């Protein structure tokens, strides 16, 4: 086992405090969005996620999506792929507040996906 000087221990402690403060401040600057994909959608259906008109993630079987949204109004949309019936994406408008959790589950099928608040 190595001997650490008090100076090295102090530097390590300061790094841990600074890193913890950065992580905590990021979490407080926006709201946390999580979208779960139910297994019942099958292996072949992909849930496409769009936020404010920008495609951000394709959720495949056994996965989920998680991000921090800045405070304010955001439009979150989901649509199935493949989408043989060409239904428009399902949209939810969120008024995001700092520190809030927005937890949704994508349900439905190839015809239409919906987001249900979990």
**pLDDT tens by residue, 74-89:** 999 999 998 877 889 9
Q: Which residues pair with 64 in a beta bridge?
A: 36
pLDDT of 118 > 90? The answer is: no
Q: What is the pLDDT of residues 21-49, one digit of tens each?
A: 545 544 468 999 999 999 899 888 999 99
What pLDDT score was predicted for residue 92?
97
- Please state the pTM of the whole predicted model: 0.74
pLDDT in tens, 93-116: 999 999 999 999 999 988 889 999
pLDDT at 112: 85
Q: How many residues does the chain have?
A: 118
Q: How far apart are CA 88 and CA 32, in angstroms?
A: 25
Cα first-last separation, the chain: 48
**Which residue has better confidence, 39 or 68?**
68
Q: What does the pLDDT read at residue 54?
A: 97
- Alpha-carbon distance of 105 to 90, in angstroms, equals 12
Q: Which residue has the higher pLDDT, 73 or 6?
A: 73
**CATH class for the region spanning 30-117:** mainly beta
Q: Is the pLDDT of residue 6 over 80?
A: no
Domain ranges of the chain: 30-117
């Amino acid at each position: 086992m190595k001997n650490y000087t008090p100076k090295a221990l102090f530097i390590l402690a300061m790094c841990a405090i600074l890193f913890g403060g950065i992580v905590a401040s990021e979490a407080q600057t926006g709201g946390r969005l999580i979208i779960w994909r139910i297994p019942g959608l099958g292996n072949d259906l992909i849930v496409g996620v769009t936020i404010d008109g920008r495609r951000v993630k394709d959720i495949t079987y056994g996965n989920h999506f998680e991000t921090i949204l800045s405070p304010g109004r955001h439009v979150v949309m989901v649509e199935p792929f493949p989408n043989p019936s060409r239904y428009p994406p399902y949209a939810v408008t969120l008024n995001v507040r700092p520190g809030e959790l927005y937890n949704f589950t994508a349900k439905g099928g190839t015809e239409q996906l919906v987001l249900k608040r979990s």
